């Protein structure tokens, strides 16, 4: 459920790939991730906290991520999430399959417009 | 290991989640404050944006859990807490379930041990019992398991068959062992070559019999059972090679069989080689049991066909002596009717056991309905709670799962107690079980039985839990909440499921009570049968065998038996003594052969076979068989070898029309033999058991001319059963005196099968009384549970309708009318149950037909008495709560709640 009706639901796997891509740039803590995604997407995408934290735990369990104690932007203790080797591999596979999908969708839409 | 480390790290994970979320909100709050918000407002806004912290945290934690299991564990905790809060309910339910599952597990372990488990021999599926059908052989073939084999048959079959890997014949008997301690009579099994090879179990010590041991002129050898080896030799291996005297013959011990080894289903102390003389055999002498091991892949039918081909070969290969017709046996119509060895061991006991199993299964169902009823009442008191939870979004499945968790937990806890019940039950059952129940020593509370108990626990839990679960999981929140307190009376729907359960219960109880009463009536009918002897507890019987190596001359045998009779008669308290080839119900027929009546023409030229018995003077008087006409034998008749016989009343009627007409008439065995005069007629004797018709019988004197030798030679039955009539029968001092009396005549004679006639009589009814006891227990449990069920339902209805009763009373209803209101509803339920039960019983009892005696499965008395009992009980069970209803104080009832 998007809080803002202008934001549509993400499709399955989208949140995951964005988290992975963001963490590939640099390890981050939860709030930083939310802000990062919001900024990078120019406010077009908003990450649900209700989905973010379970997703982080799921990826931890699948060993795509690892967590370590670190400091937040405000200097308080929190958990920093970092990509593992497996996480990088998974991300690359996912990106490839997403690109194929986007290409497919774009072509279909292009034909429909003619 | 992975799972363990996961569990350890889990707490750390949970902390991480909490810290992350906390920091998330704190950071957002600070940001909002930087944008100029008040701290309080900023905190609230941050939290609102984040959503439910608890929920996000829980969903994050769930990533690390096995959610189904953990919430089941939570349900389990809740269940235990609730059970602790109502111990009365918990104890009632657990006891009901434990008794039900316990009884079922007990009977199942018997069914499994006796009927289902394969025999304890290697590759038992290939073992076959060589039984023959011979419809033309009369009593010789029909009283036990078809026609037995003769040695010549065995020799023919074993030489020419194409289907057996090995086959052999065996017979059981007794032998006296001397030279160890006191003379002792032991159980023996005579086995031919092939028996041990067929059964396939190797000896514990020593070796099997060799071919040389089976040569009548070869070495005399013997093998021991494990039990006898332990008892007499203390399990000493040096027993191999030692010699013992078996029936006055010296035999060398060559081997010991392993513990629990039986020859088919017979226990033995000694194994003795039959050592047939392969040259000198006749066609006749049908006394051997045959077993075979089929070659791999050969079906049973093929074995029948193969041996059927050999029966003419057998008749062509042997004879009964010069002048006899070897094809005489064609008239017997001998055909192989081989059965698997297991089938042959189990016999027809399956019917009894399955009946008992079905019975306790039905009791279990009744118990389950009772528990379901209790659970319904309990769920009802939680109805508001459940409705509120449903309103708050708990799914149907979630609620049903919780109710089922509770019932399955109850089932499993009951199952644990049930194992104890089953253990006790099994000990009881093996104690009271019929002595002729085969394989009883193979019955134990083993893994399959425990698995059965577990399965039953879960299934019964699901069964009695599913009824409340179905009812309440779909309860509509609005109706339940709205319907709460202020209704006048319980809704129709609520009462309905309980009513259906009570009707089912009554119907099942009726079926069980009908079966129990039919068994009681059967037992009574059996007790009313005149077995042909009287006052059985005061008749002492014992078996004495005088082997020919001990006393060679038949006349001396008779004289010694005569002296024993005199010595026994002199014991104080003895009123009469006699002996016979076999006393009734001993399951030992001395002989069967043909008897021709003078002047009678027989179809096919040959008279039918009759049961032969050999009796001493005063034998009939001793056992209480009434003399119907003529007179008894005297010792003078016997020593004078006078050509006289006595006959049974049914033989006399069949041959001459009446008992008195028989006296003075003549019969003979073979046409080559002299006529014998009938001097007396005695009443019919149920030789093979109370429920078996009395066979027409010829009684020969205890010394006679052997009909089976070419020239007349005097012969005497050497194995006889003595009967002593005395008030002291069964008394130990008395038995010592009896032993002394026998040993004063011949100190080498052991007494065997010492028992009273009552023991024999009891054994012959053992199956009936066993079935009776089991069904009676089940029937009374069913009745008790049924009454509790009715009481519970009416009682609950009264408590639920207190307000309605109050209103009725306030409006002027009569107390007696109110009582009748409740009793009537109970009677309505009972009558419905009775009607359904009667139909079911009438159909089911047809299956029990073979267990009944003297009454029809539709016995009118039973079908009137049982409903009567049930309706009276229901009326009583409902009257108690109904009286409570009438005693309701209207003011209090209306003020309550």
Determine the pLDDT at residue B473: 67
Q: Note the CATH architecture for domain A14-113.
A: Orthogonal Bundle (1.10)
Verify whether the Cβ–Cβ distance A49 to B20 is below 8 Å: no
Residues B107 and B160 in one domain: no
Residues B690 and B553 in one domain: yes
Verify whether the Cβ–Cβ distance B19 to A61 is below 8 Å: no
Element (DSSP H or E) covering residue B251: strand B249-256
B24 closest CB neighbour out of A31, A48, A77: A31
Residues B254 and B240 sit within 8 Å (Cβ to Cβ): yes
Query: Mean pLDDT, 10 residues at a time, over chain B (897 residues)?
Result: 58 82 86 87 86 80 73 81 83 87 90 86 90 75 71 90 91 82 83 92 90 87 93 89 88 92 88 87 84 90 88 86 77 85 84 88 89 83 78 76 86 92 85 72 84 92 86 59 49 71 89 90 90 93 86 92 95 95 87 87 80 94 95 94 94 93 92 90 92 91 84 87 93 91 87 87 83 84 83 80 83 85 89 94 88 90 93 89 82 69
Residues B466 and B524 in one domain: no
Residues B520 and B772 sit within 8 Å (Cβ to Cβ): yes
Verify whether the Cβ–Cβ distance A74 to B28 is below 8 Å: no
Residue B496 lies in a domain: no
Residues B561 and B446 in one domain: no
Q: Is A5 within 8 Å of chain B by CB?
A: no
A53 closest CB neighbour out of B26, B28, B56: B56
Q: Give the Cα-Cα-Cα angle A49, A54, A58 (nearest 5 degrees).
A: 145
CA atoms of B625 and B418, how far apart (whole Å): 50
B32's CB contacts (< 8 A; 6+ apart) are B41, B42, B45, B46
Determine the pLDDT at residue B142: 57
| Beta-carbon count within 10 A of B543 CB | 21
DSSP state letter for B855: S
Residues B561 and B585 in one domain: yes
Residue B887 lies in a domain: yes
Min Cα separation B478/chain A (Å) = 28
Residues B604 and B731 in one domain: yes
Place of tokens 């008794």: B99
Residues B724 and B823 in one domain: no
ipTM of the complex: 0.83
Residues B88 and B174 in one domain: no
Q: Is A78 within 8 Å of chain B by CB?
A: yes
Residue B538 lies in a domain: no
- Residues composing chain A: 114
Distance of CA B383 to the CA centre of its chain: 46
CA atoms of B875 and B878, how far apart (whole Å): 5
Residue after which a domain boundary falls, among B286, B307, B337: B337
Residue B541 lies in a domain: no
Verify whether the Cβ–Cβ distance B27 to A50 is below 8 Å: no
3-state secondary structure of B617: coil
Residues B877 and B787 sit within 8 Å (Cβ to Cβ): yes
Contact residues on chain B for A48, CB-CB shorter than 8 A? 51
Q: Which two tokens stand for residue B823?
A: 């009793």
Q: Is B423 left (phi over 0), alpha (psi -120 to 50) or beta?
A: alpha
Could you give the angle at which helices B396-432 and B447-473 cross, rounded to 10 degrees? 140
Contact residues on chain B for A70, CB-CB shorter than 8 A? none
Residue B536 lies in a domain: no
Residue B239 lies in a domain: yes
Select from B513, B474, B499, B512 the least CA-distant residue to B372: B499
Verify whether the Cβ–Cβ distance A73 to B24 is below 8 Å: no
Verify whether the Cβ–Cβ distance B63 to A61 is below 8 Å: yes
Element (DSSP H or E) covering residue A73: none
Place of tokens 């009715």: B790
Residues B716 and B730 sit within 8 Å (Cβ to Cβ): no
Determine the pLDDT at residue B660: 92
Select from B607, B312, B369, B641 the least CA-distant residue to B509: B369
Determine the pLDDT at residue B67: 64
**Domain of B355, in residue numbers:** 68-123+348-484
| Beta-carbon count within 10 A of B312 CB | 12
Contact residues on chain A for B56, CB-CB shorter than 8 A? 49-50, 53-54
Q: How far apart are the first and last CA of chain B?
A: 57
Residues B61 and B73 in one domain: no
Q: CA-CA distances (angstroms) from residue B809 to A72, B491, B893?
A: 76, 20, 10
Q: Which two tokens stand for residue B143?
A: 């009283």
Q: How many domains does chain B have?
A: 5
Residues B185 and B290 in one domain: yes
Verify whether the Cβ–Cβ distance A74 to B21 is below 8 Å: no
Verify whether the Cβ–Cβ distance B26 to A54 is below 8 Å: no
Residues B426 and B571 in one domain: no
Task: Give me the sign of the Cα torsion angle B755, B759, B764, B767.
Answer: negative
Determine the pLDDT at residue A3: 43
Residue B540 lies in a domain: no
Q: Give the Cα-Cα-Cα angle B408, B410, B415 (nearest 5 degrees).
A: 90
Residue B495 lies in a domain: no
One DSSP character per residue, B827-845 reads HHHHHHHHHHHHHHHHHHG
B168 phi and psi angles, rounded to 5 deg:
-160, 175
Residues B664 and B787 in one domain: no
């Amino acid at each position: 459920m998007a809080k803002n009706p202008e934001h549509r639901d993400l499709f399955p796997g989208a949140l995951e790939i964005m988290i992975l891509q963001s963490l590939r740039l640099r390890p981050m803590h939860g709030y930083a991730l939310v802000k990062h995604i919001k900024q990078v997407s120019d406010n077009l995408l908003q990450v649900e906290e209700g989905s973010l934290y379970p997703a982080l735990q799921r990826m931890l369990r699948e060993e795509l991520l690892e967590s370590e104690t670190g400091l937040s932007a405000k200097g308080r203790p929190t958990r920093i999430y970092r990509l593992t080797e497996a996480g990088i591999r998974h991300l690359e596979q996912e990106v490839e399959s997403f690109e194929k999908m986007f290409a497919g969708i774009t072509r279909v839409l292009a034909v429909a417009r003619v | 290991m992975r799972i363990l480390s996961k569990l350890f790290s889990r707490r750390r994970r949970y902390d991480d989640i909490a810290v992350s979320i906390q920091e998330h909100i704190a950071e957002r709050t600070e940001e909002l404050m930087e944008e100029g918000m008040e701290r309080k407002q900023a905190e609230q806004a941050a939290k609102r944006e984040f959503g439910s912290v608890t929920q996000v945290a829980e969903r994050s934690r769930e990533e690390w859990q096995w959610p189904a299991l953990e919430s089941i564990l939570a349900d389990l905790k809740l269940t235990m807490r609730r059970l602790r809060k109502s111990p009365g309910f918990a104890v009632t339910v657990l006891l009901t379930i434990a008794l039900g599952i316990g009884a079922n597990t007990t009977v199942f372990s018997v069914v499994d041990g006796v009927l289902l488990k394969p025999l304890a021999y290697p590759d038992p599926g290939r073992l076959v019992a060589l039984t023959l059908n011979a419809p033309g052989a009369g009593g010789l073939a029909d009283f036990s398991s078809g026609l037995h084999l003769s040695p010549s048959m065995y020799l023919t079959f074993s030489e020419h068959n194409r289907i057996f890997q090995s086959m052999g014949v065996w017979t059981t008997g007794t032998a006296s062992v001397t030279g160890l301690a006191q003379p002792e009579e032991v159980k023996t099994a005579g086995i031919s070559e092939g028996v041990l090879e067929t059964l396939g179990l190797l000896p514990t010590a020593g070796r099997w019999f060799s071919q040389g041991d089976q040569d009548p002129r070869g070495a005399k050898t013997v093998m021991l059972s494990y039990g006898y080896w332990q008892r007499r030799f203390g399990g000493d291996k040096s027993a191999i090679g030692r010699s013992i005297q078996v029936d006055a013959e010296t035999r060398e011990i060559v081997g010991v069989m392993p513990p629990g080894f039986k020859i088919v289903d017979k226990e033995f102390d000694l194994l003795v080689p039959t050592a047939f003389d392969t040259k000198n055999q006749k066609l006749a002498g049908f006394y051997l049991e045959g077993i075979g091991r089929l070659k791999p892949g050969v079906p049973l039918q093929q074995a029948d066909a193969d041996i059927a081909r050999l029966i003419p070969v057998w008749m062509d290969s042997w004879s009964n002596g010069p002048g006899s017709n070897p094809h005489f046996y064609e008239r017997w119509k001998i055909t192989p009717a081989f059965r698997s060895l297991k089938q042959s061991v189990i016999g027809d006991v399956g019917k009894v056991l399955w009946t008992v199993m079905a019975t306790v299964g039905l009791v279990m169902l009744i118990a389950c309905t009772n528990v379901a009823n209790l659970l319904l009442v309990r769920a009802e008191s939680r109805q508001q709670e459940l409705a509120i939870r449903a309103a708050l979004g708990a799914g149907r499945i979630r609620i049903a799962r919780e109710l089922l968790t509770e019932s399955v937990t109850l089932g499993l806890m009951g199952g644990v107690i049930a194992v104890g019940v089953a253990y006790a039950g099994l000990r009881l059952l093996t104690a009271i079980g019929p002595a002729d129940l085969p394989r009883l020593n193979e019955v134990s509370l083993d893994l399959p039985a425990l698995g059965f108990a577990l399965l039953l626990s879960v299934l019964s839990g699901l069964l009695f839990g599913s009824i409340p679960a179905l009812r309440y999981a779909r309860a509509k929140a609005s109706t339940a909440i709205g319907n709460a307190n202020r209704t006048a009376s319980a809704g129709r729907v609520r009462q309905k499921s309980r009513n259906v359960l009570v009707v089912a219960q009554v119907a099942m109880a009726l079926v069980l009570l009908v079966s129990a009463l039919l068994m009681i009536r059967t037992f009574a009918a059996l007790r009313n049968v005149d077995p042909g002897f009287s006052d059985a507890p005061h008749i002492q019987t014992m078996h004495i065998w005088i082997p020919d190596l001990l006393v060679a001359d038949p006349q001396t045998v008779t004289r010694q038996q005569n002296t024993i009779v005199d010595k026994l008669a002199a014991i104080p308290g003895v009123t009469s003594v006699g002996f016979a080839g076999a006393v009734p119900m001993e399951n030992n027929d001395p002989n069967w052969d043909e008897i021709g009546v003078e002047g009678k023409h027989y179809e096919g030229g040959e008279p039918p076979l009759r049961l032969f018995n050999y009796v001493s003077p005063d034998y009939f008087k001793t056992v209480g068989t009434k003399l119907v006409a003529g007179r008894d034998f005297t010792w003078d008749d016997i020593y004078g070898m006078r050509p006289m016989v006595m006959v049974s009343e049914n033989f006399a009627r069949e041959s001459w029309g009446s008992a008195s007409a028989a006296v003075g008439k003549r019969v003979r065995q073979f046409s080559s033999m002299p006529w014998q005069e009938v001097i007396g007629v005695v009443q019919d004797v149920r030789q093979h058991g109370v429920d078996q018709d009395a066979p027409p019988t010829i009684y020969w004197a205890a010394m006679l001319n052997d009909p089976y030798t070419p020239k007349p030679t005097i012969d005497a039955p050497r194995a006889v059963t003595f009967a002593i009539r005395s008030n002291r029968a069964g008394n130990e001092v008395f038995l010592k005196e009896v032993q002394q009396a026998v040993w004063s005549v011949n100190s080498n004679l052991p007494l065997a099968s010492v028992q009273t006639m009552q023991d024999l009589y009891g054994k012959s009814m053992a199956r009936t009384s066993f079935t009776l006891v089991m069904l009676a227990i089940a029937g009374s449990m069913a009745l008790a549970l049924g009454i509790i069920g009715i009481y519970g339902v009416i009682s609950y209805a009264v408590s639920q309708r207190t307000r309605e009763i109050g209103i009725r009373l306030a409006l002027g209803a009569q107390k007696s009318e109110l009582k009748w209101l409740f009793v009537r509803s109970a009677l309505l339920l009972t009558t419905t149950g009775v009607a359904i039960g009667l139909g079911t019983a009438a159909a089911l009892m047809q299956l029990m037909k073979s267990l009944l005696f003297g009454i029809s499965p539709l016995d009118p008395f039973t079908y009137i008495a049982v409903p009567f009992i049930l309706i009276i009980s229901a009326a009583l069970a409902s009257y108690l709560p109904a009286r409570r209803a009438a005693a309701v104080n209207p003011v209090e009832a209306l003020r309550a709640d």
